[in-house]
Amino acid sequence: MYSPNFYSFVDRAKSDENGFIEFHNAYVSSKMTNSDLYFVLNRYGLDEEQKDFHIKISPSKTIQPKDKQVGELLEQRLSFEKNIPKAITLNDNIKPNIKVNAIEYIPQEYNHNSFNSPSEHHLIESITLQAHYVLKDSHKKNIQGDEQSLLKESIQRHKHKTKWGYIVFDRDEDIEQTLKQLNKTQPLIYSKRFKELENIKGEIVNIPFKEEWENKQIRFFAYLWRANRDVGWNYEYTIEKLRMELNHLTESAYAIFAKEFIRIPQLREEYQKTIKQISNEILAIVDEEKDKSKKFELAKQYSKEAYLLRNQVLNDIRDKSSEFARALAKSEKPILPSFESLIARKMQQNNFMGKFENLSLEQKTKVYRDIIDSSKNTRKSVNNKMIYYKVFGRTFAIATIAYVSYDIYYSDDRLKTAREHTNIIGFGLLGSSVGMAMAVDTCDINPICYAGFALLGSLVGSSVGNLINNATDTILKKYGYE
């Protein structure tokens, strides 16, 4: 049952053996006016995202004010046209006038509503991707009306047909060069290396990981007709797995820095994406208002909210960081600018002279709007540092993994060596965390101080791990399990 008042399906039900259907959640507008409800058959593979199309072929019932007062409507008869399956088939056979032009990775662990993340997983089990679309060049020439409206309508009509596929590459294989060769004589989808993801269709999809992808590079493709080698998204399973299992794979001293310098850019990207989304949504609300007075009031209200939300997101992101990362962030920007200082800065940038109270309505609106717009901007100097942090983090991680792997591989007792490294890593990381926690009162916002306490704690933790290793060996020898 579809309710146009709520732009969504409000209830589902199955008919009994006599064809009777009972709905309990027939939600309509509370206003005492007529409201329509549409009854959509889902046995023909209907896609709920195609609401505009479904209501054209489905029977409806008008709920009158008197029905709303009673609160129920009984013994109604619905007539479903015989040509519904044919209409659906004809609609699906219409050639799309859009194409996929980009693929976006959607982090699964982040919740935009609460600014919090659940506990991290130790293994990546799936990945969520979203396709983005544009009108085909051949259709742009004959557009009558607004291009964006046509694009939106076309996406709504055709996005459920989006197919997904992938190609697996070796770790050292040049993806672009290989794709060029594969696409030289035939479309990619006809290549033996191209695999279509069966039963996975639509604009946003969740793709389960396959064991065969481990230690490989994968390029995912989304397409409505044929995959384009230039429209894809690359994923390297090993790096992502490394980031999620870092605490279990790295040696004590390097582990803490590998963990920190990989996590900091992740949180930075999370922060950038969130504040950009908030700013864009608020700007859309302000820009839609045409009345100058109302627009000023909206800009005034939302500029303050954008400022507060940005600071809230920043503080929430910092709360997810370690003491070392927080100190590093605060050393870059120890004091957040006040709202009043932002007003003064925007006046200066716009060459508005005098006091803010004396500005015209349009000028005040411009200042408030600029504050909203700038709330999505981040410092370029800090963003540039994230590149180096990623390099440092992966370098520390790879060096430690290489050492541990080498030690285990050439060991006479691999199980014992693996156990010893596990204890050293685990207690070393625990010690570094305790060390940083103890440094809060001493270090304030000095990241070097926190790094020193982390190393000291890591050293103590590693020593404890060694003691446990020795004690375990002694017990095993005593009972003859040498």
Domain-by-domain residue ranges, the chain? 2-92, 98-244
pLDDT band at 244 (very low <50, low <70, confident <90, very high): very low
2-40: b or e for each residue (b if 16 or more CB lie within 10 Å)? bbeeeeebeeeeeeeeeeeeeeeebebeeeeeebebbbb
As given in the structure block, the two tokens for residue 244 are: 């999620």
Who contacts 427 (Cβ-Cβ below 8 Å, separation ≥6)?
252, 461, 462, 464, 465, 468
- Average pLDDT, stretch 373-391? 73
As given in the structure block, the two tokens for residue 326 are: 């927080």
Give residue 327's pLDDT.
Answer: 65
- Average pLDDT, stretch 185-206? 90
- Average pLDDT, stretch 73-85? 74
Who contacts 354 (Cβ-Cβ below 8 Å, separation ≥6)?
none
Q: Give the position of tokens 């600014």.
A: 115
User: Where is average pLDDT lowest: 21-30, 111-120, 135-144, 191-200?
Assistant: 111-120
Give residue 418's pLDDT.
Answer: 79
Mean per-residue pLDDT of the chain:
76
Distance separating alpha carbons of residues 109 and 369, to the nearest angstrom: 32
Q: What is the pLDDT of residues 416-427, one digit of tens each?
A: 777 777 777 777
Distance separating alpha carbons of residues 120 and 241, to the nearest angstrom: 12
On the CB side of 461, CA atoms within 13 Å amount to 27
- What single letter denotes the amino acid at residue 301? Q
Q: What is the pLDDT of residues 425-437, one digit of tens each?
A: 777 777 777 776 7
Query: Of all residues in the chain, what percent carry a pLDDT higher than 90?
Result: 9
pLDDT band at 248 (very low <50, low <70, confident <90, very high): very low
